[in-house]
């Protein structure tokens, strides 16, 4: 288990999971702390922004894996 968690894939997955937890926690804090709460429009904007971040993160992950695979040949 430890080898899997310290592998590149494990680190990427754990950091992605961590970012999801932080994002959901931030949504919770914002919904409580904003005077009007989070409306649909604000929530949609935040979710779209987060999803764009995840897409870029995933693309970087594949690029890194491709570079690493080429270096090992």
Mean pLDDT of the chain: 86
Band (pLDDT 50/70/90 cuts) for residue 62 is confident
pTM of the model: 0.73
Which pLDDT belongs to residue 64? Answer: 81
For the chain, what are the domain ranges?
2-71
Give the per-residue pLDDT at 8: 73
Please state the rounded mean pLDDT for residues 24-32: 92
Residue pair 14/5 in contact (Cβ under 8 Å)? The answer is: yes
**Encoded tokens for 62:** 């594949």
Does pLDDT of 73 surpass 70? no
């Amino acid at each position: 288990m430890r080898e899997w968690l310290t592998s590149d894939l494990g680190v990427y997955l754990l950091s992605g999971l961590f970012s999801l937890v932080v994002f959901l926690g931030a949504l919770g804090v914002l919904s409580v702390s904003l005077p009007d709460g989070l409306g649909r429009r604000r929530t949609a904007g935040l979710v779209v922004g987060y999803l764009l971040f995840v897409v870029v993160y995933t693309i970087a992950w594949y690029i890194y894996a491709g570079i690493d695979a080429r270096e090992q040949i």
